[in-house]
Structure 1
């Protein structure tokens, strides 16, 4: 009867091929304790990171190790490539999109040298975070082996 009041379910796609794992398993308290938001993490197996949702590139860090995509409505998703990768000062990361660009899920954002990151950073595990500012009541997480653009979370 009041179906128009139901929240729309929104899909968050994997930004990279890899193994999806619980955010709590990330060896960094900022992520595992959900201090910046909830989500999942991916152990990446390919070198191009894409937009997980349709929207606008709201932030790409100067070192290219992390970026956020904001939907036209009420959802912002951050992709943080590796742990302690800001210390690499951009080495191993190539920007393929810019802040302010309109993107569709699957559009390439950052290309990385996974071997370099694996050797020089703490870890290649990549948290995918739904920002605390997002209007989200629940998150259905899919822990699995995925290809880029497979669904990894549904939010409502």
Structure 2
């Protein structure tokens, strides 16, 4: 007998950029690859645009513009880290399109990262998406080429 209870669908995260989606343990930065901060995925971007992986709120933007902290409507806390060792660029090469407290929709532009500039400065362009409050949840990741806004990670 069914009592009218609907099982809530598992939260799904979208690719934050056009490019190659990879597992966290394939990231060249050992802190992220070891999943010390949490688990998620990364994108080796092929274009400058960075979009929201879900519906949620902007919690914080690092002064160096290389990272954004978000909270999803599903209760996930996420760090979007643009590039590796890009804190050293002191904000150069990043154009943030949102502000702290903004409500954003899945696929909405968050930032632009000048990939050419980042590479010229000797930094990697990999964008890392870390869920910092998984609390034992399992992840189902679809790796490979993806467009920004394409579903790539299911949190169960």
TM-score higher than 0.5 here? Answer: yes
Query: Tell me, which stretches of 5 or more residues in structure 2 are unaligned?
Result: none
State how far apart, in whole Å, the 1-side matches of 2:59 and 2:28 are.
Answer: 26
The alignment status of 1:10 with 2:11, answered yes or no, reads yes
Query: What CA RMSD, in Å, does the superposition of the two structures yield over aligned residues?
Result: 1.8
Cα distance, 1:2 vs. partner? Answer: 8.5
Residue 98 (1) aligns with residue 105 (2): no
Separation (CA, whole Å) in 1 of partners of 2:35 and 2:8: 23
Is 1:125 the equivalent of 2:126? yes
Count how many residue pairs are aligned between Structure 1 and Structure 2. Answer: 155
Partner residue of 1:83?
84
State how 1:1-156 maps to structure 2 within 5 Å: 4=5, 6=7, 8-131=9-132, 133-135=133-135, 137-156=137-156
Rounded Cα–Cα distance in structure 1 between residues aligned with 2:103 and 2:136: 22
Q: How far is the alpha carbon of 1:72 from its aligned partner?
A: 2.9
Once the two structures are TM-superposed, the CA of residue 8 in structure 1 deviates from its matched residue by 3.1
> Aligned equivalents of 2:6 and 2:138: distance in 1?
16
What is the CA-CA distance between 1:77 and the residue it aligns to?
2.0
State the TM-score, normalized to the length of structure 1. Answer: 0.91
Between 86-95 and 69-78, report the one with greater CA deviation: 69-78
* CA drift at 1:71: 1.6
- Give TM-score scaled by structure 2 length: 0.91
Distance 1:49 1:74, change over 3 A: same
Distance 1:29 1:3, change over 3 A: farther
CA contact (8 A) 1:53 1:69 kept: no
* Cα separation, partners in 2 of 1:67 and 1:5, compared to 1, 3 Å: same
- Cα separation, 2, equivalents of 1:141 and 1:151: 9
Deviation for aligned residue 1:119: 1.7
